[in-house]
Amino acid sequence: MFMNFRRVRKCQFLQLIFMCCVFSTLILCWEQVEHHVVSHIKSYSYRYLINSYDFINKSFSVSREEATSFGSFPYLIDHKNTCREKDLLLLLFVKTSPENSVRRQAIRSTWGNQTYIKKELGVNVKVVFVMGVHPDGYKRGAIQKQLQDEDLIHRDLIQQDFLDTFHNLTVKLLLQFRWAHANCAHARFLMSADDDIFVHMPNLVRSLRQLSNQGVADLWVGHVHRGAPPIRRKNSKYYVPVQMYQWSSYPDYTAGAGYVVSRDVAAKIYQATLSLNASLHIDDVFMGMCAITVGVSPQEHVYFSGEGKAPYHPCIYEKMITSHGHADDIGYLWKVATAPEVNGVSSGFFGKLYCTAVKIRLLCWPSFTMTYSCKAAFS
């Protein structure tokens, strides 16, 4: 009896200590919990229960003059007749910065090689690089000179006179949709991509051709973020103050690393940019805001990677569209991912079985290199 009583006391005591620990951790980390859990619960509830973003139309509408004053910078380098071919499958904007000439060169000699695309894939694709000016006034002159030289050779740069900084990314978005409207409105699809992305051009072209033959419209495809909350931590580069966006959830949008829209959607987004306040600096979120005011919603494609880097494997290469975070390995990846033996690696019963097993191992195990979702293993 006595022993039992002691054991019960000891048990309660341990319980008490445990609860204290939990509470003190909770209190100490409340800020983290608040940011990571509470804000997500709030935003998902908003997204899935209320799911009405009418306020964007109301709160962000500005006059046409005010809207066009956002991002109306003069062009320093431009090529208005880039899209002279009548039959153009894709206009692809690579968002780059003046100093990233190595990345641009890597893209030109791999997935962005227009000669290769024309010759091997049989379609017209235009790849152009969009940028502002170098933010450092001391370096600007020299870099500008190099850009002029680079452009003399390749004639594929488009530059406007704004500081090329993270907080000016929405300006770069406006540049893309306005330039496309003015100079390339007949391209059947428009893509926007980061300069550290890998695009599996043969897979992308095959898929766009198919969609085009089906006469697709209303298409906006990529890695979709649904019900993402605004970041309120001041030290984050994604920080957005309440005065700028007071609601708990952003409208759905695709990761800015790489997404595709059809011609009609590009035209609608352009129209939306003529009536919205473009001061929100996160370009992909702003794209979501434009889209929702014109009734366009994004579709998920499991092989658009968002922020993640694709695992290296032929079963992945066979299906992948984009992969993010590449620099030095772009040449290697281009070689292995477009090798002839990749085609049909998953054909037949055993091929399919093999690739499904491989992809389950690569994509469905929790790991630190998140790329395609587990769903991709079964598609």
Instruction: Supply the minimum distance, in Å, between the C-beta of residue 319 and ligand NAG.
Output: 23
Kindly state the smallest distance separating residue 244's Cβ from ligand NAG, in Å. Answer: 4
Binding mask of the shown chain, residues 179 to 218, with x at each position contacting ligand NAG by CB under 6 A: ----------------------------------------
With respect to ligand NAG, which residue has the nearer C-beta, 291 or 358?
A: 291
Q: 96, 97, 262, 293: which one contacts ligand NAG (CB under 6 A)?
A: 293
Rule CB under 6 A: choose which of 31, 34, 66, 136 binds ligand NAG: 66
Helix/strand/coil (H/E/C) assignment for every residue in 273-306: HCCECCCCCCHHHHHHHHHHHCCCCCEECCCCCC
- Which token pair is 375? 């769903």
Q: What residue is closest to ligand NAG based on CB?
A: 167
Could you tell me whether strands 322-324 and 197-199 are parallel, antiparallel, or unpaired per DSSP bridges? antiparallel
Q: Does 163 bind ligand NAG (CB under 6 A)?
A: yes
Contact 250, 232 (CB under 8 A): no
Nearer to ligand NAG, 68 or 299 (CB): 68
Of the residues 159, 168, 176, 273, which one makes contact with ligand NAG according to CB under 6 A: 168
> Least distance (Å) from ligand NAG to the CB of residue 165?
4
- Tokens encoding 237: 């580069």
Cβ closer to ligand NAG: 62 or 211? 62
Convert residues 91-110 into a mask of x (bound to ligand NAG by CB under 6 A) and - (unbound): -----------------xx-
Listed ranges 112-120, 149-157, 189-197, 329-337: which one lies at the site for ligand NAG (CB under 6 A): 112-120
CA distance 200 to 196: 13
Q: Does 162 bind ligand NAG (CB under 6 A)?
A: yes
Q: Is position 244 an interface residue for ligand NAG (rule: CB under 6 A)?
A: yes
Of 81-89, 147-155, 164-172, 354-362, the segment contacting ligand NAG by CB under 6 A is 164-172
Instruction: Among 116, 247, 312, 354, indicate the residue that binds ligand NAG (CB under 6 A).
Output: 116
Q: Which phi and psi angles does 238 have, rounded to 5°?
A: -95, 5
Residue 243 touches ligand NAG, criterion: CB under 6 A:
yes
Q: How far is the CB of 287 from ligand NAG (least distance, A)?
A: 15
- Total number of residues that touch ligand NAG (CB under 6 A): 21
Q: How far is the CB of 279 from ligand NAG (least distance, A)?
A: 4
Cα(91)–Cα(281) distance, rounded to whole angstroms?
24
| CA separation, residue 192 to residues 88, 90, 97, 139, 172 (Å) | 16, 11, 14, 27, 10
Tell me which stretch binds ligand NAG (CB under 6 A): 114-122, 197-205, 232-240, 316-324.
114-122
- Least CB distance from residue 143 to ligand NAG, whole Å? 15
Which positions touch ligand NAG (CB under 6 A)?
57, 61-62, 66, 108-109, 113, 115-116, 119, 162-163, 165, 167-168, 243-244, 277, 279, 293, 295
